[in-house]
């Protein structure tokens, strides 16, 4: 097993690790209220 490969427990953990940076908090804020469609997030 590769010691540098990170294991994720959920898909959300994986997605947040990819998003990262300054956009993570913005995206989490937008998703916190209610589910949104992908097109709404792009706007």
Domain count, the chain: 1
pLDDT in tens, 30-43: 778 777 777 776 65
Please check whether residue 8 is in contact with residue 15, taking contact to mean a CB–CB distance below 8 angstroms. no
Residue 4 lies in a domain: no
Residue 6 lies in a domain: no
Please check whether residue 36 is in contact with residue 27, taking contact to mean a CB–CB distance below 8 angstroms. no
Residue 1 lies in a domain: no
Confidence of residue 1 (pLDDT cuts 50, 70, 90): low
Range of the domain at 33: 11-42
pLDDT in tens, 6-19: 888 887 788 778 87
Kindly report whether the global pTM for this prediction surpasses the value 0.85.
no
Spatial separation of the C-alpha atoms in residues 39 and 26, rounded to whole Å: 16
Over 70: is that where the pLDDT of 4 sits?
no
Q: What is the DSSP string of 1-43?
A: --TTPPP-SSHHHHHHHHH-TTHHHHHHHHHHHS---HHHHH-
Spatial separation of the C-alpha atoms in residues 31 and 15, rounded to whole Å: 13
């Amino acid at each position: 097993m590769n010691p540098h490969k990170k294991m994720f427990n959920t898909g959300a953990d994986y997605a947040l690790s990819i998003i990262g940076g300054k956009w993570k908090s913005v995206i989490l804020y937008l998703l916190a209220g209610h589910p949104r469609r992908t097109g709404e997030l792009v706007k």
